[in-house]
């Protein structure tokens, strides 16, 4: 471990669009960091109201409110499995997330409040090779990734961006490491051999989304992590595009 890493604030923030996104993308890594003594916070940008059953006929306000509550409960349960410090729900409309200045400001506020040295986020870019299906990229994921990166640089560290946050008492904060999952190019792997079972258990907490076909999902997760492991010399791995700021 480098001297810079020794000295860094052991706080990480995971920014995603929806409940369960981070469990799929990076929860083996998160479980590992928690074991290593990191405080990890999740930030979910949307309210999850678009995550009801595909065959639903009632998609009105009451049905949506129920889905929102269920997904929050499930995400908190997954957070408990992983040992997260907290989960923050920003409550933007599911399915309609945009990388707006309002979203960027909300993320900057949280970065300045929690002071993460590591941020994990979704990719703002689609990858079409080798053969990526369109289902691999929900537009909310792209928007959350773009908003997260734009909040990190330069806004969070620049006192001149969002002066109203300075007035609220949130001083500039520089994030030093960025881990992007689902990125077109990956340059970094985390050995999750010791935490893959925790990842599976955290995924299992998303009952309303995954329980109907959990065995199949578990199979995909294990084989995906195994393939990533083979590419990097581990039993199981998660891969990222990692960059420093």
Binding stretches for Zn ion (CB under 5 A): 17-18, 21
Asked if 41 contacts 14 with a C-beta cutoff of 8 angstroms, the reply is yes
d(CA 33, CA 147): 24
Phi-psi region of 93 (alpha: psi -120 to 50; beta: other; left: phi over 0): beta
Q: To the nearest whole angstrom, how small is the minimum distance from the Cβ of residue 220 to Zn ion?
A: 15
Q: How many residues does the chain have?
A: 245
d(CA 13, CA 104): 15
Q: To the nearest whole angstrom, how small is the minimum distance from the Cβ of residue 179 to Zn ion?
A: 17
- Pick 75 or 117: Cβ nearer Zn ion: 75
Q: To the nearest whole angstrom, how small is the minimum distance from the Cβ of residue 108 to Zn ion?
A: 22
Q: Which burial class, exposed, middle or buried, applies to 223 when counting CB atoms under 10 A from its CB (0-12, 13-18, 19+)?
A: exposed
Q: To the nearest whole angstrom, how small is the minimum distance from the Cβ of residue 17 to Zn ion?
A: 5
Q: To the nearest whole angstrom, how small is the minimum distance from the Cβ of residue 69 to Zn ion?
A: 18
Q: Which of 183, 121, 125, 126 is nearest to 152 (CA)?
A: 121
Q: To the nearest whole angstrom, how small is the minimum distance from the Cβ of residue 166 to Zn ion?
A: 33
Grouping H, G, I as helix, E, B as strand and the rest as coil, residue 103 is: helix
Q: Which of 6, 144, 18, 123 is nearest to 74 (CA)?
A: 18
Phi/psi of residue 47, nearest 5 degrees: -90, -5
- Pick 143 or 155: Cβ nearer Zn ion: 143
- Pick 34 or 45: Cβ nearer Zn ion: 45
Which residue lies nearest Zn ion, judged by its C-beta? 18
- Pick 14 or 165: Cβ nearer Zn ion: 14
d(CA 112, CA 106): 10
- Pick 11 or 22: Cβ nearer Zn ion: 22
Q: To the nearest whole angstrom, how small is the minimum distance from the Cβ of residue 94 to Zn ion?
A: 9
- Pick 103 or 165: Cβ nearer Zn ion: 103
Angle (deg, nearest 10), helices 61-82 and 196-204: 160
Asked if 164 contacts 121 with a C-beta cutoff of 8 angstroms, the reply is no
- Pick 87 or 155: Cβ nearer Zn ion: 87
């Amino acid at each position: 471990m480098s001297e810079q890493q020794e000295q860094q604030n052991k706080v990480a923030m995971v920014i995603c669009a929806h409940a369960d996104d981070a469990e799929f993308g990076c929860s083996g890594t998160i479980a590992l960091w928690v074991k290593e003594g990191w405080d990890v916070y999740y930030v979910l940008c949307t309210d999850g109201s678009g995550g009801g059953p595909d065959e639903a006929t009632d998609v009105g306000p009451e049905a949506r409110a129920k889905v929102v509550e269920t997904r929050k409960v499930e995400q908190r349960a997954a957070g408990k499995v992983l040992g997260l410090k907290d989960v923050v729900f920003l409550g933007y409309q599911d399915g309609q997330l945009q990388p707006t200045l309002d979203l960027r400001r909300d993320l900057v506020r949280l970065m300045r409040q929690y002071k993460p040295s590591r941020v994990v986020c979704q990719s703002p870019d689609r990858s079409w090779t080798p053969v990526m299906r369109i289902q691999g990229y929900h537009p909310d994921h792209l928007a959350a990734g773009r908003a997260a990166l734009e909040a990190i640089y330069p806004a969070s560290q620049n006192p001149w961006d969002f002066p109203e946050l300075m007035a609220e008492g949130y001083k500039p904060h520089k994030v030093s490491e960025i881990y992007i999952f689902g990125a077109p190019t990956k340059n970094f792997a985390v050995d999750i051999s010791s935490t893959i079972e925790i990842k599976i258990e955290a995924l299992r907490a998303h009952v309303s989304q995954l329980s109907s076909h959990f065995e199949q999902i578990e199979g995909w997760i294990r084989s995906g992590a195994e393939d990533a492991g083979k590419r990097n010399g581990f039993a199981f791995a998660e891969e990222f595009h990692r960059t420093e700021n």
